[in-house]
Each structure stands twice: as C-alpha cells, then as structure tokens.
Amino acid sequence: MPRLNLFCLPYSGASAMVYSRWRRGLPDWLQVQPVELPGRGARLGEPLQTDMHALARQLAGELAPRLDQPYALFGHSLGALLAFEIAHALGDLASPPPLALLASGTAAPTRREEYEKDYSQPKTDEELIAELRDLQGTPEEVLDNEELMSLTLPVLRADFLMCGRYLYRPRPLLELPIHVLGGKEDRSSMEQLLAWQEETAVGFSLDMIAGGHFFIHEHESRVLKLIRNNLSVQLRRVQPCSAVGADA
C-alpha cells in the first residue's frame, strides 16, 4: 500500500500540533505531518518570522530532504498562503512537486484586497483579543487568562504582520492541482476563493463547508473526508495499481 505524507501548516497564532488529532480520523496510507513554525511548539526558542517569502524558503529547505515519497501540502488561513509559497520555493529547489495543494479558509494570493486590512502594522493586545473574539475560535476563558494570552499574543501579532505584509509575486503557474475549502460563514467571498484557480495549470476544485473561519474544527469529519477523497484520486494517478480507496 503506497503512503502519502500530508504536510500541514498552521493558522495564525497556532502550533502545527492542532493537526495531530487528524491522525485518528485519516487512514494509515495518509500520514499527517504537522509543520511547526519558528517561535512556537517544539521551536519555541527560535525567533518569530514576519516575512512570508523568507519563511517559505526556510521551510522548503527543511522539507526537501523528506520528500522521498508522494506528498501534499495543506494549510488553513495563514497556513494556506504559506503552503502556496512553499510549493513555489520547492520548485526553485528542483524538489519533487507535491501531488496537490489544499488551501483552506483564505482568499487567493491575488485577492487580498481589504482582507488583511490594517494588518501591516503591529496590533495592540486589545486589538488582537478583539480579533480573536470576532473569529470565534477561542474560548472566552482562554481570552481572559492573562498567562495564556502572554504566550499567544506575540505569536499572533507576528503572524498577522506576516499576512499584512505579504506581497504576491507573479510566477509560472503551479503544475499541480489546487483544492480549496471555504467556510460558508467565513469572511472570504466566493470570488476570492475561486481566484485560487488562477494559480494552477493543472486542476482546481472548491468545496464550501458550513461554519465560520474555524470550520476545519467545527466540521472536522467533513473536512477530513474531502481531504481523503481528493488525495486518494491524486495518489491513484501516480500509483495506478494501488488499492487506495476514497473512503478507506
């Protein structure tokens, strides 16, 4: 049975270990590989990054030696933009390309208008907490915990700056399919999500899921089924004799 590594990039303020529980909901052939960013989790001692292109190059260099079997990239929100940039950075390194890019919960790189409004300047603690409340992904007891917030807010501030200062660079289209997931009550418009198809020369799909910005947690089983089905199709294309099944 062939295996596929799914490298998962976190959203703003989060550790990549938010994806570790996905291992229980996905089949053995699909290996979840959380990609930790500097300044959090196991990389807590490393400086936070606010330059997405530089971070993508760094992470691509770290991933390149691990690409000895089929793989795909997944990212939610900030993680989707970062996964997109990593795909390009891996191409610059002449590494094997991912079988697919799964971009979740954010507008396409060319459609950031008003999306990261005022994110190019550092936000105060109060502004960051208000943003977390608006996104409805953080319990109120966590927002009221000063100790937890003292650890979270610097990471969130750096991540918001990374999004706000992101500049799109026109390059040749990616030679891999892009599968987009969007939340029906999230801030991304349909036009902003559909614009992801302008970044691929191969194939595109869009699935809308009930819920707001954190629909990947609110409707985890639905999200995992879509990931599993999309990637089983891609894996069968490179391993046509495999027994991988969409619902396996």
For residues 16 and 36, is the Cβ–Cβ distance under 8 A? yes
**CA 64, chain centre distance (Å):** 18
- How many Å apart are CA 7 and CA 74, to the nearest integer? 6
Please give the span between the terminal C-alpha atoms of the chain, in angstroms, as a whole number.
12
Report CA dihedral (186, 189, 193, 198) to the nearest 10 degrees: -160
Rounded CA separation 6/232 (Å): 12
The tokens for 94 are 């002449």
Residue 20 a catalytic site member: no
What is the spatial distance between Cα 79 and Cα 17, in angstroms, rounded to a whole number? 13
Instruction: Name the active-site residue from 12, 15, 20, 77.
Output: 77
The DSSP code for 168 is -
- For residue 34, which phi and psi values (nearest 5 degrees)? -60, 135
Rg (alpha carbons) of the chain, rounded to whole number: 17
Q: Taking Cα atoms as reference points, which of 193, 191, 188, 186 lies closest to residue 207? A: 193
Helix (H, G, I), strand (E, B) or coil at 2: coil
Q: Which residues form the catalytic set?
A: 77
